[in-house]
Structure 1
Amino acid sequence: MNEIKPRRLRQADIAALAGVSVSTVSRVLANEPGISESVREHILRVAAEHGYQVRSAPEAVPGGLALIASDGVTGGLSVFYESIVEGLRTAAAEHGMSFEVRLIREDRATPEVIRDYLKSARAEGLFLVGIDPSGALRGWIDDEKVPVVLVNGTDPQLRLDGVSPSNFFGAFQAAQRLLKAGHRRILHLTGSHRNTIRERVRGFEAAITSVPDAEGRLVPMTFHGSASREAHELTAAILAENAGFTAAFCMNDFIAVGVLEAVTEAGLRVPEDFAIVGFDDLPCALMTNPPLSTMRVDRAALGREAIGLMMSRFRDRAAPARHVCLGVIPVAGGTVSDVATS
């Protein structure tokens, strides 16, 4: 004889037993707001008494606030940060994290200001995008145990979580492309207080040192005004010295554009007489003639990885800090000979 199985309880049954509407039951079981606690408790009690399996509500995820250095954004790197923010927003939504973005001058990134920003955004997690925290800010972060992820940043002491491109190895590989193409006197146009850029300088110098007859010159930039214009002026002055430099590795593609213009105006052929490698693979790299040879940074991936680090930090706030380093990819372009990327 077949055993008759009892019919599974439906939301309509719970509504009839509790004396409320089906929509009210649905909202309570979905853990939606706007229902009084007494009604919520009554419906859940009725459901439990009659064997209805109520799924537990997903654990709430603390909110996140991203602060972006406005100096960099307004200085022409907005396209770089736009892609990072896109990655942050997408991953935050996937994890159910409320998320806000604000611009801030780096010299205003003080504990008092950031405390107010976090409070107004109702956020616990702080993403510092393109900002290396000052000593005072670091002290406040340590004292208050604020969950922080450096995005496109590194902490030399590895006390804060962070994600960045492989700046050392990316710069090493960029310089090697020029060295493999036969260049032995190479410029490196750079300039920044940031740890990430110092890593690129270290990578460049390590590559130069690896070849006995190679010579590198650091060309410091002030970034007062247009980076491309300043790079153009500096390169033109160096070429006028006739010091024998035949290549340049540039801190970013905007700088490389200025170098290319100066080299072309000097009557040199690119890449035959003078070779150039940029960094970041910004849209401008495709707009030059010839297109820039550069190093591609997956900027959206930086944002996605940063959200992952913050989620891990929320789960275990006492865990050792971690740094995620994403590899960069050579982009052939046309400003260095093909042998360099073969």
Structure 2
Amino acid sequence: MPNATERPRMPSIRDVARLAGVSHQTVSRVLNDHPSIRDETKQRVLDAIRQLDYRPNAAARALVTSRLNLIGVLSATVGEFGPTASVAAIEEAARAEDYSVTTLNLPDTTPEAIGAAVRQLLREQVDGIIVLAPQVRVFHVLRGMAIDVPFVSLQTASGAGADSVSPDQLEGARMATRHLVALGHEDILHLAGPQDWIEADSRMRGYLQALREADLPTIPPIRGDWTADFGHYAGRELARRQDFTAVFAANDLMAIGLVHGFRDAGLDVPGDVSVVGFDDIPVAAHVWPPLTTVHVDFAELGRRAIARLLAALRGVDAADVVDAERPAPALIVRDSTSSPG
């Protein structure tokens, strides 16, 4: 008879195989998302894993503590400055709390890629996950997965199935648009972010709200891809039109490319057209003309994400350790905006 104080044996891969009626090699293939496994076999194995609460051991430490002090970051942010700054702050704040960080960058956000990335983080026995993948479809996939560790998202929409940390991007976009209105602009175009991106939607809604408040006409937004290359292309194409005097771009990279495109087409910024960006990336103050933009404290977002996740891990009310107020955006006025000529 086992000693009452003896720690119960953790289920092994062979226990899973026995319960599922397959070989342990088949269980291994399922864990590694091998494409040769039939759906019904895979489901039997997954059911057995859930029933036994089996997890592969990533390190000897987990055998004793069941914790690796490891936080996973799931990122699908295509190299944007803001999320990169957040990740740096996440890593620094995690180290201060004796946690390590492992980051998985999604090459695409198909349901298959998202599911595989989350399963990989769970196989590495992360204690919690921070999601920097602000596309609606990412949260649709996450809601359908059995994720048994806390996770926090850096995003702006509600209903994502997790605690979230986010700046008030809608208000930031209203500030940018109101600035152009206050200068006397009435025909203001929006260069929006990609379809399905939560940030792009929030910034577009803020723009539309500000125009409605000012009783100004709306011009159908142009969907971009966050890159300076697209902004440059858009600037050259838009220069052929005469139906706007200002543009609010959904991020600084597109705004910088836009200014370049306008200049190549013979337009002066801000003499002929004013441009506002969003994010306040470091180079925004050093392009010509220096870019008017909305500042977001991405490092503070990263620190708050860690604080909220650690609160969940420690069973502490997040309200006791994280400021409930969302980080406020700030309008930074530089030389890319002026009154219409």
Q: Normalising by the residue count of structure 1, what TM-score does the alignment of the two structures yield?
A: 0.71
In structure 2, relative to structure 1, the CA distance for the partners of 1:159 and 1:134 (3 Å cut) is: closer
For 1:66, give the aligned amino acid: V
Cα drift, residue 318 of structure 1:
9.7
Q: Which of the residues 93, 117, 120 maps onto 2:121? A: 117
Output the CA distance in 2 between the equivalents of 1:88 and 1:324: 19
- 3-state SS of the aligned residue for 1:335? coil
Q: Which string of whole-angstrom CA distances, capped at 9 and with x for unpartnered residues, describes residues 13-62 of structure 1?
A: xxxxxxxxxxxxxxxxxxxx99xx9xxxxxxxxxxxxxxxxxxxxxx784
Is 2:152–2:164's contact at 8 Å kept on the other side of the alignment? yes
For 2:234, give the aligned amino acid: L
Output the CA distance in 2 between the equivalents of 1:155 and 1:167: 10
Q: Runs in 1 of length 4+ with deviation above 6 angstroms?
A: 317-320
Cα drift, residue 249 of structure 1:
0.3
Q: Which has the larger radius of gyration?
A: 1
Map of 2:70 onto structure 1? 63
Output the CA distance in 2 between the equivalents of 1:191 and 1:197: 5
Output the CA distance in 2 between the equivalents of 1:196 and 1:62: 30
Structure 2 matches for 1:130-279, cutoff 5 A?
A: 130-132=133-135, 133-140=138-145, 143-151=146-154, 153-157=155-159, 159-192=161-194, 193-221=196-224, 223=225, 227-243=227-243, 245-279=244-278
Map of 1:315 onto structure 2? 314
Output the CA distance in 1 between the equivalents of 2:228 and 2:85: 21
Is 2:252–2:284's contact at 8 Å kept on the other side of the alignment? yes
Output the CA distance in 2 between the equivalents of 1:172 and 1:64: 35
Cα drift, residue 176 of structure 1:
0.5
Number of aligned pairs? Answer: 269
Q: Which of the residues 79, 83, 89 maps onto 2:85? A: 83
Output the CA distance in 2 between the equivalents of 1:241 and 1:136: 41
Output the CA distance in 1 between the equivalents of 2:234 and 2:318: 46
1:290 lines up with 2:289 in the alignment: yes
- 3-state SS of the aligned residue for 1:229? helix
Cα drift, residue 324 of structure 1:
6.2
Is 1:162–1:324's contact at 8 Å kept on the other side of the alignment? no
Is 2:279–2:294's contact at 8 Å kept on the other side of the alignment? yes
Q: Which of the residues 102, 105, 112 maps onto 2:104? A: 102
Is 1:62–1:125's contact at 8 Å kept on the other side of the alignment? no
Output the CA distance in 2 between the equivalents of 1:212 and 1:156: 28
In structure 2, relative to structure 1, the CA distance for the partners of 1:109 and 1:125 (3 Å cut) is: farther
In structure 2, relative to structure 1, the CA distance for the partners of 1:302 and 1:318 (3 Å cut) is: closer
For 1:117, give the aligned amino acid: L
For 2:232, give the aligned amino acid: H
Output the CA distance in 1 between the equivalents of 2:101 and 2:230: 37
In structure 2, relative to structure 1, the CA distance for the partners of 1:95 and 1:275 (3 Å cut) is: same
* Larger deviation, residues 277-286 vs 257-266: 257-266
In structure 2, relative to structure 1, the CA distance for the partners of 1:81 and 1:295 (3 Å cut) is: same
Is 2:143–2:160's contact at 8 Å kept on the other side of the alignment? no
Is 1:296–1:331's contact at 8 Å kept on the other side of the alignment? yes
Which structure has the higher relative contact order (CA within 8 Å, separation 6+)? 1
Output the CA distance in 2 between the equivalents of 1:242 and 1:137: 45
For 1:337, give the aligned amino acid: S
Q: Which string of whole-angstrom CA distances, capped at 9 and with x for unpartnered residues, describes residues 243-295 of structure 1?
A: 2x000000111110121122223433322321110011112312321111111
Identity %: 27
In structure 2, relative to structure 1, the CA distance for the partners of 1:144 and 1:337 (3 Å cut) is: same
- 3-state SS of the aligned residue for 1:110? helix
Unaligned stretches of 5+ in structure 1?
1-32, 38-59
Output the CA distance in 2 between the equivalents of 1:164 and 1:203: 15
Unaligned stretches of 5+ in structure 2?
1-59
Map of 1:72 onto structure 2? 78
Output the CA distance in 2 between the equivalents of 1:213 and 1:155: 26
For 1:63, give the aligned amino acid: L
Output the CA distance in 1 between the equivalents of 2:242 and 2:156: 38
For 1:138, give the aligned amino acid: R
Map of 1:306 onto structure 2? 305
Output the CA distance in 2 between the equivalents of 1:319 and 1:329: 25
- 3-state SS of the aligned residue for 1:217? coil
Map of 2:336 onto structure 1? 335
Is 1:184–1:215's contact at 8 Å kept on the other side of the alignment? no
- 3-state SS of the aligned residue for 2:184? coil
